[in-house]
Structure 1
Amino acid sequence: MPRSPLALAALASAAVPGLDVYDVLRSPHSDADFDVVIVKDGTGTRWVVRAPRRAAAGAALEAERSLLKALGRAHDTGLLSFDVPRPRGAVQMEPVTDGRAIVYSEVAGAPLVLSRLEPGPGLTAGVGRAIAEIHELPPSLVEDEGLPTYDADEYRQRRLSELDTGMQTGKVPPRLADRWEQQLENVAWWRFEPTVVHGDLGEHQVMVSGDGVRGIVDWMDARVADPADDLAWLVAAAPDDILDSIMEAYRLKRRETRDPHLLDRARLSSEMALLRWLMYGVRTDNADVIADGEGMLADLETMLFDQDDAAQ
């Protein structure tokens, strides 16, 4: 059962000594795994409270908490120009098997709106630089926290395994499956240097103010893997001129630039995100998610192969 906002506010007061909750605001970030609220104290300071709904989510929350401390130090020493949520306290919940609720200081800024970006310098270039800063972090920062680490071929094999599992459901359009399999088996695409990746990057995770990126949130899927994954949302949604400006700033900030198939893999990652959504529905036996996933895959197949037919 979801916990009420008032119950989460009480957990925040227990987790952070001296925190006097003045107001409770619902957060758009609650989902099947976490209850999330924003609380305000008497000074107007806002705090984020996240409570896991099951044991596996609790373990992931603890891993993120440890990583956020390391990322906070990276910001304080100048490795990152943007901030991250800072864990300020934790409290054990009932039932104890669910783990602990974590309280964070809220990152300043508002979520990025991709449609409002303009090509050129300023915020658009700032997004590219911020993503590059993530990819320039030392992999040991993630490895030392026990988070997943893959080399290039391991990651390619992981994607192939995802595709095989999806095909076994019979719900993946055959032409899409063939397209993805060919791209995954093209080893020339998969000669990349693994980097630290956020793993779930999108508009809602990038907090901005004025012309700058102020913070990046939701680091629970961080790992050492393919940098293309952090560009998938941009390849899928950004207009070409915006993507060009972001990638120009990104490449200028990166030391490792010899990756000619970076955007090819990003496009593949954006397409296979629909497969992962479908498989989430299959794993949780959620008929609505399964239907949604099947519909999106069918639409993607139509779009991709109608384009191919029109080009011939």
Structure 2
Amino acid sequence: MSQPPAGPSTPASASESPRTATSGGSAPDAESARERSPLALAALAAVAVPGLDPARLALPQERSADLRVVGVVDTQGRHWEVLETRADATGATLEAEAEVLRRIGRIVDDGRLSFDVPRPAGTLRLEGSYIQVRSHLEGRPIDIDSLRPGPGLSAGLGKALGELHDLPTTVVSEAGLPVYDADDVRTRWLNLLDDAAGTGKVPPSLLARWEVALEDTALWRFRPVVVHGDLAPENVLTAGGAVVAVRGLGQAHVGDPAEDMAWVYASVPVDCLDSIESAYDLARTEGVDRHLRDRAELVSELSLAEWLRHGVRTGSDSIIDDAVAMLTDLADQVGDEPLVEQTGPRLAPVPGVKEPAEPEATTSEVKMVLVEEDADEDADYEGVDDGTDAEADGDGSDAH
């Protein structure tokens, strides 16, 4: 099962207000009281986007609790997606995400990204609903099970994530989405740890394992980056053996790259991780984050605690039971092992033939010679023969 995202809460709305549609003589209340048909949404897309003349409906045709998505192809052959929500929080998320997508889209157009993102084209705010029109992205959701080691799709996934994490953080911060530094991230996990411990349903060995990792300050020295926040196969689109698009950026924020990498380490085949990590590191301009995998593993484990907390807060016994079962399985797997092995500094080997540092078995004897105090002064007089008594010569000169 997929776990709820461990990222930040729903973002605030973006600064730019959408256009508001007005229709003379119409009755918005009556229109919003019933669900609009796909054809009605296609017609509204034509209002939101100048020059969009709908020709036919197309995929996707999707529905969730708070969101409808209808595909439309116009007379120019352009493929669009019309998104409608009646939930204010979802509308604010879509609006903020659109701001992020506009900024990333400009970077794509400059040739600085190897993948595309949806392009917002227009919005409408009718009484009771929010409608947004975006470009449709071609491609298929990434098939994790088909990944193989090497320079193919595994490396492409690592490169795409590295480029995403290397974006300027202003694409998120200027859109009004959350920004967390390293201390903020660590504090949020500590708060979750306290909440999880308070339920009395987390095995003590896991609480101790997580506490040690959270108290290890070396793990939390990282540069905050643009984080996707909701990585899943349906949000990474591929074509021709390459990652061609990334979508689903409604939970984007500035924070710990380990939040995205946790999905990678938990999902992809183990033998593909080296290919992904190598391509990821090459795409990043920052130095290698030595504890990225450690934090990603911690994030993955703490997502179970997040799931438990969600179940407790919503009063869902089924979610609580599910979380407790997974936590018990995890405790059995890891036992008492620490999440991060504590090791001393490792010295690089010195090339060449190693020789023992002990002294040789046979040494030359050094003869000790007693040196008189006046010997150094006598040596300063040139022309004085060995054995000459300088003090006696001085007395003789006084006699004359």
Q: CA deviation at 1:130?
A: 0.7
Q: CA RMSD in A?
A: 2.6
8 Å contact from structure 1 (residues 15, 103) kept in 2: yes
CA distance in 2 between counterparts of 1:93 and 1:123 reads 42
Q: CA deviation at 1:264?
A: 0.5
Q: What amino acid does structure 1 have at the position aligned with 2:119?
A: R
CA distance in 2 between counterparts of 1:177 and 1:265 reads 15
> Alignment partner for residue 20 of structure 1, among 30, 54, 58?
54
CA distance in 2 between counterparts of 1:286 and 1:9 reads 38
- After superposition, the Cα gap between the structure-2 partners of 1:39 and 1:157, relative to the gap in structure 1 and judged at 3 Å, is same
Report whether the alignment pairs 1:183 with 2:216: no
CA distance in 2 between counterparts of 1:170 and 1:5 reads 49
Report whether the alignment pairs 1:115 with 2:148: no
Deviations for 1:73-125, whole angstroms, at most 9, x for unmatched residues? Answer: 011112211100111121114425xxx22121111211101110111102211
CA distance in 2 between counterparts of 1:119 and 1:143 reads 36
Deviations for 1:2-22, whole angstroms, at most 9, x for unmatched residues? Answer: 956636545434433434152
Q: What amino acid does structure 2 have at the position aligned with 1:254?
A: R
Once structures 1 and 2 are overlaid, which stretch shifts more, 137-146 or 168-177? 168-177
**TM-score, structure 2 length as denominator?**
0.69
- After superposition, the Cα gap between the structure-2 partners of 1:240 and 1:107, relative to the gap in structure 1 and judged at 3 Å, is same
**TM-score, structure 1 length as denominator?**
0.87
8 Å contact from structure 1 (residues 32, 53) kept in 2: no
Matched residue, 2:184: 154
CA distance in 2 between counterparts of 1:201 and 1:2 reads 33
8 Å contact from structure 1 (residues 2, 53) kept in 2: no
Matched residue, 1:143: 173
Q: CA deviation at 1:286?
A: 4.3
Deviations for 1:178-234, whole angstroms, at most 9, x for unmatched residues? Answer: 222221111111111111111112222111101221100011111111111111111
The 3-state SS of whatever aligns with 1:148 is coil
- After superposition, the Cα gap between the structure-2 partners of 1:140 and 1:299, relative to the gap in structure 1 and judged at 3 Å, is same
Report whether the alignment pairs 1:73 with 2:106: yes
Q: Larger C-alpha radius of gyration, 1 or 2?
A: 2
Q: What amino acid does structure 2 have at the position aligned with 1:22?
A: R
The 3-state SS of whatever aligns with 1:234 is helix
Deviations for 1:209-267, whole angstroms, at most 9, x for unmatched residues? Answer: 01221100011111111111111111112222201100011112212124211100011
Matched residue, 1:91: 124
Q: What amino acid does structure 2 have at the position aligned with 1:15?
A: A
Q: What amino acid does structure 2 have at the position aligned with 1:231?
A: M
- After superposition, the Cα gap between the structure-2 partners of 1:170 and 1:252, relative to the gap in structure 1 and judged at 3 Å, is same
Q: What amino acid does structure 1 have at the position aligned with 2:95?
A: E
Structure 2 unaligned regions, length at least 5:
1-32, 339-400
Identity level (%): 47
8 Å contact from structure 2 (residues 141, 233) kept in 1: yes
CA distance in 2 between counterparts of 1:4 and 1:170 reads 47
Structure 1 unaligned regions, length at least 5:
none
CA distance in 2 between counterparts of 1:46 and 1:168 reads 50
CA distance in 1 between counterparts of 2:321 and 2:241 reads 40
Matched residue, 1:240: 270
- After superposition, the Cα gap between the structure-2 partners of 1:13 and 1:233, relative to the gap in structure 1 and judged at 3 Å, is same
- After superposition, the Cα gap between the structure-2 partners of 1:169 and 1:75, relative to the gap in structure 1 and judged at 3 Å, is same
Matched residue, 2:158: 128
Q: CA deviation at 1:48?
A: 2.2
Count of matched residue pairs: 304
Q: CA deviation at 1:289?
A: 3.6
Report whether the alignment pairs 1:256 with 2:289: no
Report whether the alignment pairs 1:230 with 2:292: no
CA distance in 2 between counterparts of 1:169 and 1:301 reads 16
Matched residue, 2:97: 64
Q: CA deviation at 1:133?
A: 0.5
The 3-state SS of whatever aligns with 1:134 is helix
- After superposition, the Cα gap between the structure-2 partners of 1:282 and 1:59, relative to the gap in structure 1 and judged at 3 Å, is farther
CA distance in 1 between counterparts of 2:326 and 2:229 reads 21
The 3-state SS of whatever aligns with 1:37 is strand
Q: CA deviation at 1:287?
A: 4.4
The 3-state SS of whatever aligns with 1:260 is coil
> Alignment partner for residue 245 of structure 2, among 212, 215, 220?
215
Once structures 1 and 2 are overlaid, which stretch shifts more, 69-78 or 15-24? 15-24
- After superposition, the Cα gap between the structure-2 partners of 1:27 and 1:146, relative to the gap in structure 1 and judged at 3 Å, is same
- After superposition, the Cα gap between the structure-2 partners of 1:275 and 1:41, relative to the gap in structure 1 and judged at 3 Å, is farther
